Chains A and B, each alone.
Chain A
Amino acid sequence: MKKLGLNIFMSCVLITAISCEKSLDKSPYNAISDAVAFSTADRCLLALNGVYDAAQSSPYTDGSVRGYPFGAANIEQGDARGEDVINIAAFFQITYQATYNATTANNVGHWGALYALINKANISIDGFKTAADNSVLTQEVASQYQAECRFLRAMAHHEALTLFARPYADGNGSKLGVPYRDFAIASSSAADQIKETPRGTVAEAYQKVLADLDFAETNLPASVSPSTVRATKAAAIALKMRVKLHMGDWAGVIAEGAKLVPAGAGPYVSPIGAWALTDSPDGAFTDNSSKESIFSIRNHELDNTGVNGALPSMFGPANSGARGLLAISPIIFNDTRWLEDDKRRSLLTVSGTNSNGGTTFNYFTKKYTSYTNRADFAPQIRYAEVLLTLAEAEARQASGVSERALNLLNAVRDRALEDPATQSFKASDFAGKNDLIAAILFERRVEFLCEGKRWGDIHRNALDPDFNVGGIPAKYQNASQGASIYGFGVPINASQAAIPYSDFKFIWPIPANEVIQNPVIEQNPNY
């Protein structure tokens, strides 16, 4: 009997010994190993969507989703840095009042999210190349996917340049740029490699942005499904126009614009992708994938940028279920150049309560209205921008009042006018070319109100003798509210003083932990 006991024990040992190997041979169920992530064409497409996802929602500093960099944050931050919105509560206060420092979450989060997108794009570029080499993808599809990644990479670097670097106009691009990442970092040795890549100059970075966009233009198709939320040839060209506008390269903008805007007085339809203005000024917002929406970042009720990031949450009035945090400022609202009967006032603004309580009042944008599902796409490039960008370049390039510029400006503005026949601009309305340029710049503020484009215009024109707004412009005091501050032509009271271009706060600091971890990066002065 005792022997039996021993036998039982020995068999136990034997059984467990046999099961050993299996007991340690585990693999993850929640994630796909990198060895097989690009092993089928379907997975390659999934990986490409993953790069777009990084554009929509890379982790914020605390790991949460707040729409950094392009799912919402670039728009909110771009407006909060300008004067055409009012920060209502404390949410955007640091950006709004320019009290940021090198550890402020907003700018740290934006920087981190931009480069998270860039690295995912770079890793996927390598993956698509390998997939093509292994005949998993055709060369054509692999090139298209790579072009989409390079489009996003260019867009991210350009965003970083407008926030963390001085404009191109300052010393013709000779100021400190941002590090341009064009290789994948998928191991610790690759991460060490970047410690040998300094910031470089603004001009160097712009050259690389343009190289990426040239590649994108060549390899992207004219149309793609689903439309709007993936990059196309027209999106690459349009982004190139924006980049060249920032460089002050008017001829370059015009050359690119010719690819998307036919000659003549309009209506304009792009020969590439058939992009055109919608009939109504709110057309691009009532339909996320309108014929005007060249490129937007996708949000959906199942995957959006969350209550602490989503465009409808931040820009919408509290009485509609939004948070009422960024209101329209009287600085733009009361401006008589924005005609009182302009349809954009009635269609795209709404009065409502703000985050400060039931009786508090502001005007808000109505561009993002998916207050429950937060499914509004984050618009990045509309055909209206193509037209106004081209208009500005034409106006600046011309010696007098450019008729082409006038036509392009009217194409955008007229659709919002109550009576275009009488209200439309005529050449005689402008004493000289600067008046026309000013009108185009003002039109951009109205047309792109609450689309985050304000900071780009302030930044690129900061040294323009005629069109600068004195650095970070004077603004309404934080949390300004009440019906009395609004009204067509009502005097404005921008009591929060401007911060001059020369002030160090004009550009954001490089995040403190970047400076600590990256020995070759140089902090912006005085941070």
Chain B
Amino acid sequence: MKKNVLLLLAMLLFGLGASYAQSRTVTGTVTSSEDGSPLPGVSVMIKGTARGAQTGADGTYRLEGLSGSEVLVFQYLGFNSKEESVGSKSVINVTLRMSESFLDELVVVGYGTQQKTAFTGSASKVDVKQISNLMTASIDKQLSGRATGVQVTNSGGLVNSPARILIRGINSLTQGTGPLIVVDGIPMISGNLAAVGNSNALGDINPADIESMDILKDGSATAIYGSRAANGVILITTKRGSKGSAKVTYEGFLGFSNPVKKFDLLNAEEFVTISNEKFTNAGQTPRASLNPGVDTDWQAEALINNAPVHSHTLSVQGGNDKTTYYLSLNYSDQKGVIISNFNKAYRVRANLNHDVNKWLKMGNNITISRQENGDQNNGANSLSGAIASALRMLPNVSPYNPNHPSGFNINYPNGNSMDPGTNTTSVDDNFTNVAFTTRNNKFRSDLYRIINNTFLEVSPLANLKVRSQFSFDLFNDYSYQGYSPLHGDGYGTATGGTNGLVYNASQNIIRYAWQNYANYNFSFDNSHNFFLTAGHEIQQDRTKWHAAQGTNISDVFFINENLISGTASVQGISGSISESGFESLFGRINYDFKNKYFLQASVRRDGQSSLAPHTRYGVFPGFSAGWRPSQESFWSASEFLNRWIPEAKIKASYAKVGNSLGGFPYLSTYGARPYGNLSGIAVSTIGNPDLRWETSVKYDVGVELGIFENRFSLTADYFVNDVNDLVYNVPTPLSAGVPGNSIAQNIATLQNKGVELMLEGLIMRKKDFSWNFNVNYSNVKNKITSLYSIGGEPVEFIQNGSYNIIQVGEPMNILHGNIWAGVNSANGNPMYYKADGTLIQQNFDRSATGKSIGAYYESTSTSSGEMGAATSLTFEDRKKLGQSTPTWFGSFTNNFGYKGFGLEVMLRYSGGNHIMNYTRQEALLSQNFHNNGKEILDRWTTPGQITDVPKLYYGQGNNINQTQTANSRFVEKGDYLRLQNIVLSYSLNPSLLTKTAFSSVRLFVQGQNLAVWTPYTGVDPDNISSLGLDQAVSPQVRTISFGVGLGL
């Protein structure tokens, strides 16, 4: 009030004083470019003075006593400011554009917020509005392509599994690579945690409750999170109420999901031909014959079409001068395309803020959630794996048999196998009837979550805020697994076998976090601005778990929902508990000079319980600086720059952050190892007392430009992450007999560097039509820069599993395997190159005298069947076959608006990686009595035939396909372009609603994951593990849904 009175007084004084000399008056109306409506309360100031006026309710203003040399500055919160010279004009009408861009936004940073203009780190703000309208169980699933430098992979189409998020590349070999997720200031428990099946702890946050999402990427932005910042930080802020009467909204979706693409398998007739050829070529009796009328599509037995999905959120928010509230209720139910896969969520969020008095605020945010998940055996080689089995089941065999009590094709009474029908034997390895197992075996988890966050904020001085915030995060998992005794993994009878299995696990994970911190800002000389943050944080985690299992269940009746006392004759229990803790001190100084030059320094000292006392603490500093040349006089003096690039910022940062470790890797420990039922202990870990933090040194330089009256914005960043002291379980030779065949050590360094570019803006805005776009591109190059030495001899590479190596100078986990030379056209043998370039073939010709089946012989050409000296294909012959993680990715998004209609089209792209198509190698081209993919129809059959598929030979799949080894034959490019989303929406004109109860009505249709264009021959190039393997995972899902949003 005081200020306004003074202002008025000043205006009066100046106005009166000036009236003697000048008497020009300027009037005008300020309107919004959005809809042309008048803007009340816009400040209209004369530049360089304290004189000015405000627009009234009709958007008009009036300024008197002007000379004509003044420049008027129009400023309004949420809009771009504008300047106009008075000149000889007496009417100056101004249209202000909403600052949807870019530089006027707030950025949520750790323990506070900052003006985006003053922010010198690198962060991406995700437009949550676009995501929360999508049919999705959790926010992570939809993050792909939404921000530069953020790579999100949904490997497979399961609705209940989390997405894999990488920020600026992979920053660890063995420790976490996913970002720290902070909700309303508190690091939340996240991950795939249920004891049975997949689950997603992030799914406890209803996407519709999210107000904003800020992804902190560079060192200086994340350094305040110290030891947990190496993989970036995602800050989620939930919705709060705003002052005013209660607003009620409802949003609902209803839709259907389908597999985007299925595997292309042999039909019954093709199968009979192929499998009998396998046996004949191996000198064995054929086993398959056609079964008239039976041609089973086994994928149709495991996968469903038009899986229903729906979601409903009802929220109410409002408040008065002292108190604001937000309350939302959500129910969502998504079925996956595998018949047993689903996720149901019931979520409540309540945020309450209250100003007790002028210096004391308090509030409480609570999330209560329950998720139910249904899953299945997803093992890539599991006999009852939903996809693994569907790929191998014999198509000339029916899934059903009315003679079995279950109605499924199962042998009776020996239900371990299926009736072979017209074949002489059943499917090899007794892969199980997937139609039965997906319907009868249970993989369930019931997850309960409470996240409560209470704060008290005290302002002892005007610019000092002291906040104490205490949070409690509880994740409770009640999982159930049940295997039918009739068939599959639980098969057995009262006299033997598993005979039904029930398993219940109860997990209790809790986290306390207590943060006490202060924010203080002050300015002097009107140009030096300081913003200080300092605080202390403590975090305690505890995971407790126990489980009970019973087998030999008395009746199939007891295998449906839970373990039942007295029903299992064989019983087992298990359990464990672990604890960990963090304790930190942190501080940050931001300084800016005239909103032109910016400096930031921060430091955090973290201690973690998982390291030995002498290595437990780490100090993580961060620095950054920025300059806005657009605020310099030379810039504003240039009409060109002022018009074309009204905003420019250059920034640079450096920081060191850490990646925390779990467990107690510094200790050698003895775990329980019973011998039969005789209790025992044995060494379970060889510890390393000298283990240190993984640290990440991050550099970033960037530029942010507002172009063409700020209609466009361009953001560009170049970054380098040097990661040191990478922890790796350094392999010991098997013959050392060390538990896990490894000992954790700090052994390696790696580097990620890359470029991020984003251009977005407004292409067109007419009265009824608008067109916005966003293009982004990220490029991340990963390189292992050093590994350890043995006795001064540097180790060149580490073998990581069967398909990948970690090699100095190469990207992490590069695919590494044999070099395929094609099929010998004379005899159909597979051919390879040795490291020295020697062409060799692997013999599968039984008639070749003196040549061993499966052995390697030197060859002269790919067309000569002649086999020379015996040779071998060894590890030394393997070469690098491609990198396992995409190196470039991004998206194009266009938003069109026409009157009430909106259309969003998002295309996403990714590539630069190679995929080891394990599914092809192990299943689709299996040489066992299994079904195959269509590719096998190209097998070699006659001398002279040029093909890529070797001669068939029953039982030699491990040799012909070189299973358990990467092989250039199965390594394919992973580039793709994906039509990620199309959303068409229609908002009813509010004028039509005046007589209804609604204030707004919005209808929409959306398509998610509609198409993918790729050279990759597998089901989907996103179906890759972190090692770049495609391992028979669930197909990706296309969802079409219809939604309605109502406001009361």
Measured CB to CB, the residues of A under 8 A from B are 1-3, 5-6, 8-9, 12-13, 16-17, 19-20, 23-34, 37, 43, 46-54, 56, 89-91, 93-94, 97, 99, 101-105, 108, 111-112, 115-120, 122-123, 178-179, 181, 185-188, 191-192, 194-195, 226, 229, 298-304, 307, 312-313, 316, 318-324, 353, 355-358, 360, 371-373, 477-479, 481, 495, 499, 503, 505, 511-519, 521, 523, 526-527
Contact = CB atoms under 8 A, between A and B. Distances in A.
Interface stretch (B265-273, B415-423, B696-704): B415-423
B538 A16 contact: yes
Contacts, number: 339
B634 interface: no
Given A517-B734, A518-B735, 18 more contacts: A8-B456, A23-B538, A24-B581, A31-B670, A31-B685, A34-B687, A47-B681, A50-B673, A54-B682, A103-B802, A185-B738, A191-B743, A318-B414, A357-B418, A358-B414, A358-B419, A372-B551, A513-B734
Contact of B675 (A26, A56, A102, A373): A56
B497 A372 contact: yes
Contact of B580 (A26, A48, A301, A499): A26
Q: What is the predominant secondary structure among interface residues of chain B facing chain A?
A: mixed
B677 A303 contact: yes
B872 A527 contact: yes
A13 B732 CA distance: 46
A351 B794 CA distance: 59
B766 interface: no
Contacts of B498: 307
B738 A32 contact: no
B458 A9 contact: yes
Contact of A53 (B569, B682, B739): B682
Contacts of A12: 468, 516
Interface stretch (B140-148, B439-447, B661-669, B1005-1013): B661-669
B783 to A, nearest CB: 22
B732 A191 contact: yes
Interface string B737-751: 111010101000000
Given A188-B688, A194-B735, A358-B419, A49 B674 contact: yes
B956 A31 contact: no
B432 to A, nearest CB: 12
Contacts of A499: 852
B745 A54 contact: no
Interface in B709-748: 730-739, 741, 743, 745
Contact of B965 (A46, A54, A103, A192): A103
Contacts of A505: 852
Interface stretch (B44-52, B488-496, B934-942, B973-981): B488-496
B461 interface: yes
A357 B419 contact: yes
B417 A355 contact: yes
Contacts of B536: 13, 16-17
Contact of B736 (A24, A25, A185): A185
B743 A188 contact: yes
Size bracket of the B interface: 35 or more
B425 A479 contact: yes
B14 to A, nearest CB: 37
Given A99-B854, A372-B569, A116 B677 contact: no
B804 interface: no
B674 A53 contact: yes
A229 B496 contact: no
Contacts of A9: 458, 466, 468, 516, 518
A8 B681 contact: no
Interface in B848-866: 852-855
A208 B960 CA distance: 41
Contacts of B928: 90
A5 B458 CA distance: 6
A360 B420 CA distance: 10
Contacts of B682: 47, 50-51, 53-54, 120
Of B412, B429, B569, B958, chain A has the most CB atoms within 10 Å of the CB of: B958
A371 B552 CA distance: 11
Contacts of A320: 493, 495-496
B989 interface: no
A372 B499 contact: yes
A298 B679 CA distance: 12
B306 interface: no
Contacts of A181: 735-737
B576 interface: yes
Contact of B738 (A54, A103, A119): A119
A6 B360 CA distance: 11
B730 A321 contact: no
Of A1, A28, A102, chain B has the most CB atoms within 10 Å of the CB of: A28
B176 interface: no
A2 B675 contact: no
B578 A30 contact: yes
B683 interface: yes
A463 to B, nearest CB: 20
Contacts of B676: 56, 229, 298-300, 302-304
A292 to B, nearest CB: 19
B416 A323 contact: yes
A90 B928 CA distance: 8
Q: Which 6 A-B pairs have the closest CB atoms?
A: A321-B496, A371-B496, A119-B737, A50-B682, A49-B680, A5-B458
Contact of A30 (B576, B580, B678, B736): B576
A3 B675 contact: no
A53 B736 contact: no
B681 A43 contact: yes
B733 A518 contact: yes
Given A33-B668, A50-B680, A99-B958, A512 B414 contact: no
Interface in B534-563: 536, 538-540, 551-552
A300 B675 CA distance: 8
Nearest to A503: B852
B664 A49 contact: no
Nearest to A515: B875
Given A99-B854, A185-B732, A526 B872 contact: yes
A186 B745 CA distance: 14
A361 B645 CA distance: 84
Interface string B488-524: 0000111111110000000000000010101000000
B17 interface: no
A91 B735 contact: no
A175 B958 CA distance: 29
B90 interface: no
Contacts of B964: 103-105
A514 B735 contact: yes
Interface in B590-611: 607-610
B834 to A, nearest CB: 14
A517 B732 contact: yes
B870 to A, nearest CB: 7
Nearest to A517: B733
A49 B675 contact: yes
A516 B802 CA distance: 12
Interface string B753-797: 000000000000000000000000000000000000011000000
A303 B675 contact: yes
B91 to A, nearest CB: 50
B572 A371 contact: no
Of B516, B610, B684, B731, chain A has the most CB atoms within 10 Å of the CB of: B516
Given A49-B675, A119-B737, A195 B965 contact: no
6 contacts: A5-B458, A24-B582, A30-B577, A51-B682, A105-B964, A526-B870
Contact of B570 (A360, A372, A512, A513): A372
A423 to B, nearest CB: 34
Of A19, A24, A301, A312, chain B has the most CB atoms within 10 Å of the CB of: A24
